[in-house]
Structure 1
Amino acid sequence: MQAFLSFLGRLRDAGRDLAPIMAVVAIFQFGVLQRTPPDMMAILAGLVIVAVGLALFLQGLEVGIFPLGESLADQFARKGSVFWLLLFGFLVGFATTAAEPSLIAIADRAEVISEGRLDALGLRMTVALSVGAALGIGILRILLGHPIHYYIITGYLLVLVATYFAPQEIVGLAYDSGGVTTSTVTVPLVAALGVGLASSIKGRSPLIDGFGLIAFASLLPMIFVQVYGILVYALAEPASAGLAAADPAPGGSPAALSHLGVMVVLQGLLGVFRDTLPIILVILGAQYLVIRHPLARLRKVTGGFGMVILGLYAFILGLDLGLFPLGESMALQLTESAGRTAIYLFAFLVGFATTMAEPSLIAIAEKAEEVSQGGIRQLVLRVAVAIGVGAGITLGCHRIMAGDPIHYYIMAGYAAVIGLTFFAPRYLVPIAYDSGGVTTSTVTVPLVAALGLGLAKNIEGRDPLIDGFGLIAFASLFPMITVLGYGWLQETLLRRRKEQAT
Structure 2
Amino acid sequence: MKRENEHSSYVKERIVADVNILTSKLLEVVLAVLPITIIVAILHFTLVPLDTMLMIRFMVGAVFIVVGLSVFLLGVDIGITPIGKQMGKVVAKSNKLWIVIVAGLFLGFIISIAEPDLHILAGQVETVTDGSVPKLLLVVVVSLGIAALLALGLVRIVHNIPLFKLLTILYLIVLAVAIFTSPQFLAISFDASGATTGALTVPFILALSIGISMMKKDSKASEKDSFGMLAIVSVGAILTVMLMSIITNQDELSGGLAGNQEVSDGILAPFLYESIHITQEVLLALAPIVLIFLIFQKISFKLSKASFRKIITGLFFTFIGLILFLVGVNAGFMDLGTELGFSIASLDNKAYIVSIGFILGLVTILAEPAVYVLTTQIEDVTSGYVKRKEVLFTLAIGVGIAIGLSMLRILIPELQLWHYLLPGYLIALGLTYVVPKLFVGIAFDSGGVASGPMTATFILAFTHGAADAIQGADVIVDGFGMIAMVALTPLITLQILGLVFKWKSRKGGIPNHESR
Which TM class, normalised by the smaller chain length?
0.7 to 0.9
Alignment counterpart, residue 418 of structure 1, candidates 403, 425, 429 = 429
- Residues 283, 319 of structure 2: 8 Å contact kept: yes
Alignment counterpart, residue 206 of structure 2, candidates 191, 199, 207 = 191
CA–CA separation in structure 1 for the residues paired with 2:381 and 2:76: 26
Superposed CA RMSD in Å reads: 4.0
Pairwise mapping of residues 282-431 of structure 1 onto structure 2 (< 5 A)? 284=291, 315-337=325-347, 339-356=349-366, 358=368, 360-403=370-413, 404-431=415-442
Q: Which runs of 5+ in 2 are unaligned?
A: 1-11, 510-516
Alignment counterpart, residue 167 of structure 1, candidates 164, 169, 182 = 182
1:468-499 CA-partner distances (Å, limit 9, x unpaired): 0111111111111112223335535765889x
1:14-44 CA-partner distances (Å, limit 9, x unpaired): 544422321222333334x062444222333
1:295-317 CA-partner distances (Å, limit 9, x unpaired): 99899999887776666565554
How far has the Cα of 1:288 moved from its partner?
Answer: 5.1
- Residues 183, 441 of structure 1: 8 Å contact kept: yes
Q: What is the TM-score normalised by the length of structure 2?
A: 0.80
Alpha-carbon spacing, 1:489–1:460, altered in 2? closer, same or farther (3 Å): same
| Counterpart position of 1:179 | 194
Identity of aligned residues (%): 27
Pairwise mapping of residues 196-235 of structure 1 onto structure 2 (< 5 A)? 196-203=211-218, 205-232=221-248, 234=250
- Counterpart of 1:218, as a letter, is S
How far has the Cα of 1:460 moved from its partner?
Answer: 0.9
Alpha-carbon spacing, 1:184–1:331, altered in 2? closer, same or farther (3 Å): same
3-state SS, counterpart of residue 128 of structure 1: helix
Moved more, 422-431 or 59-68: 59-68
| Counterpart position of 1:254 | 263
CA–CA separation in structure 1 for the residues paired with 2:434 and 2:289: 42
How far has the Cα of 1:280 moved from its partner?
Answer: 2.7
Alignment counterpart, residue 280 of structure 1, candidates 271, 275, 287 = 287
How far has the Cα of 1:433 moved from its partner?
Answer: 1.8
CA–CA separation in structure 2 for the residues paired with 1:161 and 1:47: 42
1:347-387 CA-partner distances (Å, limit 9, x unpaired): 22222223356554454344444544554344333322221
Q: What is the TM-score normalised by the length of structure 1?
A: 0.82
1:108-160 CA-partner distances (Å, limit 9, x unpaired): 11110010111112222222332232222111111111111111111212222
1:158 is aligned to 2:166: no
CA–CA separation in structure 1 for the residues paired with 2:116 and 2:393: 26
Moved more, 37-46 or 116-125: 37-46
- Residues 184, 252 of structure 2: 8 Å contact kept: no
1:270-323 CA-partner distances (Å, limit 9, x unpaired): 675367536535753786599768999899999887776666565554434321
- Residues 131, 220 of structure 1: 8 Å contact kept: yes
1:126 is aligned to 2:158: no
Alignment counterpart, residue 130 of structure 2, candidates 98, 115, 128 = 115
Number of equivalent positions: 488
- Residues 112, 146 of structure 2: 8 Å contact kept: yes
Moved more, 316-325 or 135-144: 316-325
How far has the Cα of 1:79 moved from its partner?
Answer: 4.5
- Counterpart of 1:280, as a letter, is A
- Residues 79, 314 of structure 2: 8 Å contact kept: yes
Alpha-carbon spacing, 1:427–1:65, altered in 2? closer, same or farther (3 Å): closer
| Counterpart position of 1:440 | 451
- Residues 122, 135 of structure 2: 8 Å contact kept: yes
Alignment counterpart, residue 474 of structure 2, candidates 447, 463, 475 = 463
3-state SS, counterpart of residue 467 of structure 1: coil
- Residues 182, 252 of structure 2: 8 Å contact kept: no
Alignment counterpart, residue 35 of structure 1, candidates 45, 49, 53 = 49
CA–CA separation in structure 1 for the residues paired with 2:469 and 2:161: 47
- Counterpart of 1:385, as a letter, is L
Moved more, 207-216 or 418-427: 418-427
- Residues 370, 450 of structure 2: 8 Å contact kept: yes
Q: Which runs of 5+ in 1 are unaligned?
A: none
3-state SS, counterpart of residue 133 of structure 2: coil
- Counterpart of 1:173, as a letter, is I
- Residues 84, 207 of structure 2: 8 Å contact kept: no
